[in-house]
Structure 1
Amino acid sequence: MIDRLLDIVNLTGQEFALLAVIVLVAGIVRGFSGFALSALIMASAVIILPPVELIPMLWWLELSASVLMLKGGWADADRTAAIGLVIGSTAGWPLGLWLTLSLPVETSKIIALAVIITLAVSQLSKLKLPFLATKPGLYGTGILAGIVSGLAHVGGMVVALYVLASDAPARQMRGSLVLFLFLGSITSMVTLLAFGVMDFSGVSRGLVFALPTLLGVYLGQKLFTPGLAQYYRPFCLVLLCALAGAGLIRTTLS
C-alpha cells in the first residue's frame, strides 16, 4: 500500500517523509501566525520539487488551511480590502505563472527563494509604504501579490506588507490574510487549469499532504498564546529567512 501511495504522489519514500514533516511544521506556523504556509514549504521543499510542481500542491494546502481558519478570518477581516486584493491578484497570477513556466527550473528556484527572503526582510524591518494605503495601492498590491503567487505562491507576504502600511490591528491583519488566501484560491484555480499546471501529481500530492498540514494548523491554533503573540511573527520571519537563505545557497552551489 505504501508503494502504491508513493507511485500516486510520484515521490520516493525519503522525499515523502521529508515533505510530510515540512508541511506539518509549516501548518503549525500557519496556525498561529495566519500566513507563511506556502513560503515555508517553498523555501524548504524546493530542494525536493521545482516551484512549478510545488505551486499546484500548495494550492490545495492553502485552501485546506484557509477553510479550517475561515470562521475567525471572516469575522475579523477587512472584507472590502480583501476583495480588492483578490481582484488585483487575479490579474497578476497569469504573469507570475508564465514567468515560472518560461524560466529554467534552477532559475525559477533562485527567483522564488530570493522573493521569499526579500519579503521576509521587508517585514522584519517593519517597512511601511504610505502609498499602499490608497486605492491604487490596494489594487497594485493585489497585482503584485498575484505575480509573486504565480512565481512562488507567497502572495500572502505581499498582502501582509499592505496591512502593515494601514496599521491594522493584529487580529484584523490575521483575518484579512485568511480571507484573501481563501478567496484567492478560487480565482487562482482557473489560472492553474488554463496553464495546465494543475495536473494529477499536483492534485494527488495536495490531497495527501493536506492531512499533515491540517494537523499542523490545528496544533498551531491550540499552541497560540496571546501573551507571547509579539514574538511569533518575528520568529516566523527569521526562520523563513534562514530556510530560504539555506535553500538559495544550496541551489546556487549545486
Structure 2
Amino acid sequence: MIDPCLMGTALIAGLVYGFTGFGAALIFMPVALLVVDPVVAVAGFALAGLGAMATVVPQAWPQADKRAALTMLAAAVALEPVGVWVLRTTDPTALRWAVSAVVLGTLAALLSGWRYRQSPGLPAWLGVGAGVGFLGGSVGLNGPVLVLFQLGGPDAAARTRANAIVVLSLSTLALLPIMALQGVITRETVLLGLVLLPIYALGAYLGRRLFNPGRAGLYRGTAYLLIGAAGIMGLPIWG
C-alpha cells in the first residue's frame, strides 16, 4: 500500500511543475525521504516523472532554446551515472547538507539582486547540465542548478519555464536506464512509480493550464519560495 501522503505530495509536485517548469522533486523528495529509502524515492519518482512527457513537454518544446536545452541535456546524461553511483554508496546525510548549502547560498545571491550579464554559452550550458545530472542521480534534485541559472539570466518567463521543462523531463527519462544498469530499479520502485505516475501527470496538466506568461512576477516569486522551502526542508536537522 502506497502512503496516501506520498500520493498527495505527488499531485502537488506535478501541479507546481506544470506551472513553474521545476520544483517537483524539491517538493516530493523531502516528504518521500520520511517514508521510504532514498534509493526507492529517487527511482520511484523518476518513473513517475514520465507523466510529464505527455502533459507538459509537447507544449514547452516550441518555446525552448533548443541549442541551450539540448547541450545541457547532453551534459546531464553524461554525469547521471556518477550521480547514481554516489546515491548508492554515499552517506545520505552528507549529501543533504551539501545540497541545502548550495540551494540556500544561491537563493541568497538571487534575492540580493545577483544576475549574470554575459550571454551564456557552451561552457555555462555544460556546467549547468553537469550539475543537473549529478544532483539528479545522487539525490533526485535535478532542478535547483538549472532553475537558479535560468532565473539569473535575461530570458522571459515563458522561455525560462520551457527550457527547464525540456531539460528536466528528458534528463529524468534518461536516468531510468542508467539506474536500471546499476541495479537501482526494483519491484518496489516500479510499484511506487506506476502508482504515482497518473497522479503526477494530472497535477502537471492542471499546472500547465494555470501558467500565464504575463505574470512573470508571480512565476519568479513562486520559484524563490520553492527554492527556499526546499533548502530548509532538506537540512538533516529535521531527521
> Is 1:42 the equivalent of 2:41?
no
Q: Do residues 210 (structure 1) and 218 (structure 2) align? A: no
Quick one: distance in 2 between partners of 1:217 and 1:246?
Answer: 22
How many angstroms does 1:95 deviate by? 1.7
Q: TM-score, normalised on structure 1?
A: 0.82
Deviations 1:153-206, CA, capped at 9 Å, x for gaps: 222222223333542221111111121123223432231112111212111111
Q: Against the structure 1 CA distance between its residues 169 and 99, is the aligned structure 2 distance closer, same or farther, given a 3 Å change threshold?
A: same
Say which structure, 1 or 2, has more relative contact order (CA 8 Å, 6+ apart): 2
Cα distance in 2 for residues equivalent to 1:211 and 1:130: 41
Alignment match of 1:190 (pick from 174, 177, 191): 177
1:33 and 2:20 aligned: yes
Aligned mates of 1:123, 1:62 — CA distance in 2: 28
Q: Which has the higher helix share?
A: 1
Most deviating of 53-62 and 183-192:
183-192
Q: Mark the runs of 5 or more structure 2 residues left unpaired by the alignment.
A: none
Measure the CA separation in 2 of the matches of 1:116 and 1:87.
Answer: 23
Partner of 1:3: none
Please point out which of 152, 167, 189 is paired with 2:154. 167
Secondary structure in structure 2 of the residue aligned to 1:168: coil
Would you say how many aligned residue pairs link Structure 1 and Structure 2? 239
Structure 1 residue 29, shift from structure 2 partner: 0.8
Please state if 1:80 is matched with 2:67.
Answer: yes
Whole-angstrom distance in 2 between the partners of 1:28 and 1:148? 22
Q: Specify the alignment match of 2:220 in structure 1.
A: 233
Q: Which residue of 2 aligns with 1:252?
A: 237
- Other structure's SS at 2:35 match: coil
Query: How far apart in 2 are the matches of 1:90 and 1:26?
Result: 23
What's the CA shift string for 1:209-246, capped at 9, x where partnerless? 11221221222223334554422332343244235424
* Equivalent in the alignment of 2:56: 69
**Letter of the 1:207 counterpart:** L
Following the alignment from structure 1 to structure 2, what is the Cα–Cα distance between the partners of residues 25 and 238? 15
Counterpart amino acid of residue 194 in structure 1: L
Question: Are 1:144 and 2:131 an aligned pair?
Answer: yes
- Aligned AA for 2:221? P
Taking a change above 3 Å as real, the CA distance of residues 28 and 118 of structure 1, as seen in their structure-2 partners, is farther
Unaligned segments of structure 1, at least 5 residues: 1-5
CA distance in 2, matches of 1:253, 1:156: 22
Identity of aligned residues (%): 26
For 1:124 and 1:72, the matched residues in 2 are separated by: 30
What is the TM-score of this pair, normalised by structure 2?
0.86
Partner residue, 1:96? 83
Distance 1:122 1:160 in 2: 13
Assess, with a 3 A threshold, how the Cα gap between structure 1 residues 70 and 126 changes in structure 2: closer, same or farther.
Answer: farther
